A = this chain, B = another copy of it.
Amino acid sequence: MNFRTDLAIELAEQIGNTTRQSYQTDQQEEDGTIVSHTKILTPEGEKQFGKPVGDYITVEVAPFSDSVTDSAQEAEVIARQIRLLLPEQDGLVLVVGLGNLSVTPDALGPRVIDGILATRHLAGEWERVAGQEQLRPVAAMAPGVLGQTGIETSEIIACLCEKIKPSCVIVIDALAARSLKRLGRTVQLSNTGISPGSGAMNRRRELSRKTLGAPVISMGVPTVADGVTVGCDLLAVEGLDNEEAARTLFAPEGQSMLVTPKEIDLLIGRASKILAMAINRALQPSLSQEELSYFVS
Which residues of A pack against B, CB within 8 Å? 66-72, 100, 102-105, 113, 118-122, 129-130, 137-144, 146-152, 155-156, 158-160, 162-164, 179-181, 201, 227, 230-231, 233-235, 237-238, 240, 242, 245-246, 248-250, 252-253, 255-266, 269-270, 273, 290-291, 293-295, 297
Contact = CB atoms under 8 A, between A and B. Distances in A.
B255 A258 contact: no
Contact of A129 (B66, B233, B290): B66
Contact of A149 (B139, B151, B265): B139
Contacts of A158: 163
13 contacts: A68-B295, A70-B290, A140-B148, A140-B149, A141-B144, A180-B255, A230-B249, A233-B249, A237-B248, A237-B249, A255-B262, A256-B261, A258-B262
A67 B260 contact: no
Contacts of A67: 129-130
Given A256-B261, A266-B297, A295-B68, A146 B160 contact: no
Total identical chains: 4
B260 A149 contact: no
A69 B155 CA distance: 32
A119 B257 contact: no
Contacts of A162: 159, 162
Contacts of A181: 252-253
3 residue pairs, one from A and one from B, having the closest CB atoms: A120-B150, A118-B150, A159-B159
Nearest to A295: B68
Nearest to A67: B129
Contact of A151 (B100, B120, B146, B242): B120
B234 A250 contact: yes
